[in-house]
Structure 1
């Protein structure tokens, strides 16, 4: 028995730490799982279409950030505080590239997706984006799962029954703090950031 696409698009059952509900003994548990663990061809096609849908619907990093060129003053300001870095489109882009080298890019992607969600007023769109964020960054089945403590995770599970633009606020703050404490100091001492500083210094000298 296969679950129809309409039922498959519903948010996961919300229990502690995303635990899946036990399947009925008389049914094939994998084909009842909304997370598409079944290897049958129907689920394989649905899973492939789902990935494409998520990639098209949720674009956390606007193209303007990727092409922004920071001034030497702006680059130097990133060392003053993490807030200055995160408030700079170019800073976020450079920091995201650094996180990619540390295999933690999902932290920035999650933070940006939460910012995008908070700016949304249409409840139908909020529901859809909240579901996508959950699937991509909160579900333990996702390869891009971010590190959240059990209290925050359980809070999200409850809020996902009726998602709002602020469903992930606590989780976003936790990931922001994690990036600030762990990744930001390494970014400031990284070759990536030092190269930007040197380029800025050279540019200032040539203009003088």
Structure 2
């Protein structure tokens, strides 16, 4: 029986459900970028000629926190109204610091936390204006979440992968937009309903509820 992580990877985005994945497209690495180091023939994680380990560690080390560049106050307890709003809208959940934190913890129990990490990494990339930094972050996102060599590879269909491979020739802040939408849709369709029915979400509702007045028990 597949694990929850494997089950997530079996479902393409709704608009691509009828397309069979292409193994040759999946395995293809994006071509070398014009003007970049001639020894880099691909964007896979085996290519490190233009990157020192120090540079890699500098950006990867705080991955669990730095990638979450949206307005953050995850330590602030959410109100009951906010927690209830998460059940009405996945978008509200994903744009609430406390909601993202709670949902990410739930995804971790399902072995699919990489979906949230990838979405957050794309949000940070889209907010970046410095092209040199965009190049660096796009490369690391590809290595961490798109490369078939990565243990944190997210589930993407062949069309989206081919588009990423083309755009990685000249990365931009929007290189992963299609992939981000597909992963967002996957979380919304598969993981979000289970989160709302989970003991973790019910516990959040109880914690956010005001204490009962004396005599109301």
Give TM-score, length-normalised by structure 1: 0.75
Asked if 2 retains the 8 angstrom alpha-carbon contact of 1:65 and 1:93, the reply is no
81 and 146 in structure 1: CA distance in 2 versus 1, 3 angstrom threshold: same
Partner of 1:166: 174
Pairwise CA RMSD: 2.8
206 and 84 in structure 1: CA distance in 2 versus 1, 3 angstrom threshold: farther
Instruction: Flag as ranges the 4+ runs of structure 1 deviating above 6 A.
Output: none
Asked if 2 retains the 8 angstrom alpha-carbon contact of 1:72 and 1:204, the reply is no
1:1-208 alignment, distance < 5 Å: 16-19=25-28, 35-36=45-46, 52-56=57-61, 58=63, 59-62=66-69, 64-201=72-209, 203=210, 205-206=212-213
Name the CA distance, whole Å, in 1 between partners of 2:46 and 2:75: 36
Asked if 2 retains the 8 angstrom alpha-carbon contact of 1:75 and 1:196, the reply is yes
Name the CA distance, whole Å, in 1 between partners of 2:147 and 2:52: 15
Specify every segment of 5 or more residues in structure 2 that has no aligned partner in the other structure, as ranges. 1-23, 31-40
Max radius of gyration: which structure? 1
Residue 83 of structure 2 aligns to a residue whose secondary structure is: helix
Asked if 2 retains the 8 angstrom alpha-carbon contact of 1:18 and 1:157, the reply is no
Query: Going by fraction, where is helix more abundant, 1 or 2?
Result: 1
For residues 39-98 of structure 1, give each alpha carbon's deviation from its aligned partner in whole angstroms, at most 9, with x where no partner exists: xxxx9xx99757634423752125944423211110111000111111111101110000
